Amino acid sequence: MARLDSAHPDNVEGPWFVDTRCIRCDVARHWASGLIEMDNAGRSYLARQPDGPEETAALWRPAEACPSQSLGSTEIRRPPAPSFPTS
Q: Which stretch binds ligand SF4 (CB under 6 A): 9-17, 51-59, 68-76, 78-86?
A: 68-76
**Contact of 22 with 43, CB cutoff 8 Å:** yes
Question: CA–CA separation, 72 vs 60, rounded Å?
Answer: 8
56 lies in the site for ligand SF4, by CB under 6 A: no
57 lies in the site for ligand SF4, by CB under 6 A: no
Q: Among 7, 16, 17, 18, which residue sits at the site for ligand SF4 (rule: CB under 6 A)?
A: 18
Question: CA–CA separation, 80 vs 57, rounded Å?
Answer: 8
Q: Which residues contact ligand SF4 (rule: CB under 6 A)?
A: 18, 22-28, 44, 62, 66-68, 70-71
